Amino acid sequence: MVRERMNDENANCAHDGEEYAQLSLLQLPVEMFLHICSFLDASTLHGLSLVCKQFYLILKDADSLWKARIDHIWPNATHSLLRSAKPDKLFWMSSCVAIEKQIALWKQQDSMVKLRKINPQSIRPVLLMHDATACVGATRKILFYSKLPSREECSDEIRDIRGIDSGHYDNICDLTAIDNTIYSCCGDSVKSWMLTNTGLVHQRTYDDIRMLYSWTCVSSCPERGLFAIGSNYEIYVFDSREINKPINQYRPNNTTMTALIAMNTEYILSASYDGMVSVWDQRAGRIMNSITIPGERAYPICVSMRRDNWVCVGDSKAKLHMLDPKNDFELVKSYSTEHTNGITGVRLMHGCLITSSLDGTVRISSLTDPPRPIATL
């Protein structure tokens, strides 16, 4: 009798164990599932949303979860500046993932790679090449190339820096790239260079343009193989596959330009000291709009243009201005920053906004309205 009772209890335990083993997150109420999710980082949750259709649907519709996480990081900041172009995407989830990754990344300032053998104050333009595995830069009239250490190498210094005399008669003002071809620009000329495994090899000098003005800037559109160079007053557009004359040229403003600041498959943006940003429509071959940057004696210095959403302009008074290319580049909002001098560079990334300034700092901010500080270098 005892043995039979024990067998029955063991059978019941085994049966209970089978039922218990079958329990999973799929069987939990949605509220309890989301409560568990609140203890996980956004990147893990993003992976969890790809496990099955049910997880995907729950997390896709849980916008309040992601908004709450973002609000916890940056209280009193509203929606992201860069709204999703396609509403069916997991916009708030992907935003939260990008935000948490950026915060974790910029907390690791001690692991940043440093350029040795070069005075950082003399470095002007720098390009990251080959998925950030190499960099090309300029210091006065010298071009330099270096391979960047991988994560596995755990090095905080770049020592193998190869320099080459550019042959320019003046300091290099700007650099841009199309695939492995680098274009350097200074007051006297524009030159192209091929990036090889051993360094930079000079290809040609664009000296067939009538030298009426000094060249101050260069930008490129790799998707179409085009690059443009700007002087004090005019802009010339070249096809990198042709070695003859420019395919287009125009004068954007009546005053001196500060920079040819951005270029994509459709538009070229340039700035001038009169506080205007001119938008050139490449397909129509005309200036489609001129935007006035607000502020007394303020003029635009730099811009970052994303293909999907916005254009961000930095000015001489340390302010940021958001333009909407979907609405003829209308000025939407302007923001004050913690910089104390003009903004010299701006980059709209997927998870953050990076600005550099004449005050000697680089600031990383959130893509919220208004932008919130993440880190200062």
154/119 same-domain check: yes
98/123 same-domain check: no
98/135 same-domain check: no
157/101 same-domain check: no
State the number of CA atoms in the 13 A half-sphere of 349 facing the CB: 14
Domain boundary among 271, 303, 335: 303
pLDDT of amino acid 343: 94
Quote the CA–CA distance of 272 and 291 in Å, as a whole number. Answer: 11
pLDDT-derived band at 122 (thresholds 50, 70, 90) equals: low
Residue type for position 266: E
Q: Which residues lie closer than 8 Å to 341 by C-beta, 6 or more apart?
A: 318, 357, 358, 359
* pLDDT over 50 (residue 3): no
* pLDDT over 70 (residue 318): yes
Helices 91-106 and 63-73 cross at an angle (nearest 10°) of: 30
40/181 same-domain check: no
Q: What is the pLDDT of residues 55-110, one digit of tens each?
A: 888 877 667 777 778 777 877 776 666 555 554 445 677 777 777 888 888 887 76
Give the pair of three-digit tokens for residue 18: 């089978």
- Between residues 135 and 113, which one has the greater pLDDT? 135
Q: In the predicted model, what is the mean pLDDT of residues 322-332?
A: 90
Let me know if residue 222 belongs to a domain. yes
pLDDT-derived band at 132 (thresholds 50, 70, 90) equals: confident
pLDDT-derived band at 14 (thresholds 50, 70, 90) equals: very low
Q: What is the pLDDT of residues 277-313, one digit of tens each?
A: 999 999 999 999 999 999 888 999 988 887 656 889 9
What percent of the chain shows pLDDT beyond 90?
23
Annotate 70-99 with b (16+ C-beta within 10 A) or e (fewer): beeebeebeebbbeeeeeeebbbbbbbbbb
Quote the CA–CA distance of 311 and 37 in Å, as a whole number. Answer: 35
Give bridge partners of residue 243 from the DSSP assignment. Answer: none
Residue type for position 86: K
Residue pair 195/181 in contact (Cβ under 8 Å)? The answer is yes
Range of the domain at 196: 112-303
Q: In the predicted model, what is the mean pLDDT of residues 314-325?
A: 93
The DSSP letter of residue 213 is S
89/157 same-domain check: no
Let me know if residue 133 belongs to a domain. yes
Mean pLDDT of the chain: 80
157/84 same-domain check: no
pLDDT of amino acid 54: 86
Residue pair 247/256 in contact (Cβ under 8 Å)? The answer is no
CATH code (residue 215): 2.130.10.10
Give first-to-last CA distance, the chain, whole Å.
78
Any alpha helices (H) in the chain, and if so which ranges?
A: 2-22, 30-37, 42-48, 53-60, 63-73, 91-106
Q: What is the pLDDT of residues 16-62, one digit of tens each?
A: 555 555 667 778 888 888 888 878 887 788 788 888 888 888 877 66
Pairing of strands 248-250, 235-239: antiparallel
Q: In the predicted model, what is the mean pLDDT of residues 240-245?
A: 77
> pTM score, two decimals?
0.77
Let me know if residue 198 belongs to a domain. yes
Q: Highest-confidence range of 74-88, 225-239, 256-270, by mean pLDDT? A: 225-239
Q: How many domains does the chain have?
A: 2
* pLDDT over 60 (residue 117): no
